[in-house]
Amino acid sequence: MNTETPPRNTLQSLLRQLDQFEYHGLKITDLHKLRGTLGGVVYDQTGEIYPDGQEEGGAWENVAEHCLAAMLVTDVLGEALELSGDERKDLNLAAWLHDSGKKTERMWQRTIEGWSQEPEKPDQTTAEEPQPSASEILRQNRLLEEESAAQKIIGLETLNLPSQEPQPPKPVNRLEAKKKALKAQEKMEEAENSIDAGFSPKVSKIMKATIPPLKEGHGNNLAEKIMWFADACLTGTEIKPIRQRFDDLENDPKNGPRNRKFSDSFKDRYEGKNLYDLQRELGNRYLKEFSQRIGIEPEKFYSWLQGKVDERLASEQLPLM
């Protein structure tokens, strides 16, 4: 199967058009900013950059394009599999938002893998800090984006530092990093379900379909199956057969060992099976189910899907919102 990465100018045009849509009084592009990654922002809630951000800052710039590509896939599959209009709207919004919390997922993966080499220290109980509302998180992220933009304009990455001398990296305590990751994940989930963020329980549930699934999959929930499949078949904005995608992750020259270690960390959960093996099995199962429902041969499914997405890109057709 030949796959192509969608032209960036077309994706950027569609992203700009998304500004016209609102969800419970907030632009859906602002909902993406609320979760902190639309402009490549990799800040935690204290305003500091995660170690991931310092090391891999460029990786966050394409999150919005990936989410848009996923939304195009869910729109195609939702229509072909005959979801109702309201179901498609919920599914497409979930696809738009599904990876906008990628900074938390990435930090959590690094924490699991033990990216910090600092020895663990005894836990120290601290008083719980008041948690900001979703609207306040959005306001803080906007301020951080404005500050970052200002620093780039005047060329002073060390704007708030007392000198221009290189600053040594802060030591990272693994236990503290784990606690921070858990708190960030809780805060993200609270924001997803909060009234002023505007997420419905249905949208939030579909968004979570992309996280490591149960061994049995997603039951009879077709929207969740589509959401999982759309994310699993995308490398960035490129559609790939799911088996190939996870083969590529395992064999990646740079990140293969790290990816395999992360996948193997799920063996206890899946009775000796690693995460990527389970994903490949689910991908094959859903591929057969979708193909049968749509009425096409499984071996032609990805080419059919690519063609339908290409049609939407060529006409700059926005997903149903």
150-193: pLDDT as tens digits: 444 434 333 344 444 555 655 555 566 556 655 655 555 555 45
Confidence of residue 40 (pLDDT cuts 50, 70, 90): very low
- What percentage of the chain carries pLDDT values higher than 70? 54
Confidence of residue 209 (pLDDT cuts 50, 70, 90): very high
Say how far apart CA 149 and CA 192 lie, in whole Å: 27
22 phi and psi, to 5 degrees? -125, 155
Contact between residue 107 and residue 181 where contact means Cβ atoms under 8 Å apart: yes
Q: What is the pLDDT of residue 185?
A: 53
Confidence of residue 211 (pLDDT cuts 50, 70, 90): confident
Q: Is the pLDDT of residue 51 over 60?
A: no
- Give the contacts of 78 (CB within 8 A, at least 6 positions apart): 87, 88, 91, 92, 223, 226, 320
Determine the average pLDDT of the residues in 42-69. Answer: 54
Say how far apart CA 99 and CA 228 lie, in whole Å: 12
Q: What is the pLDDT of residue 279?
A: 96
Lowest mean pLDDT across 3-7, 55-59, 282-286:
55-59
Token pair in block for residue 274: 């690693």
Higher-confidence residue of 259 and 54: namely 259
What residue type is 21 in one-letter code?
F
101 phi and psi, to 5 degrees? -100, 30
- Give the contacts of 211 (CB within 8 A, at least 6 positions apart): none
Lowest mean pLDDT across 81-90, 181-190, 300-309:
181-190
Say how far apart CA 263 and CA 256 lie, in whole Å: 10
Query: Which residues sit opposite 122 in a β-bridge?
Result: none
Token pair in block for residue 49: 């950059």
Q: What is the pLDDT of residue 131?
A: 53
Residue 146: Cβ-neighbour burial (10 angstroms; 0-12, 13-18, 19+): exposed
pTM of the model: 0.67
The full set of domain ranges for the chain reads: 8-116+133-156+172-241+292-312
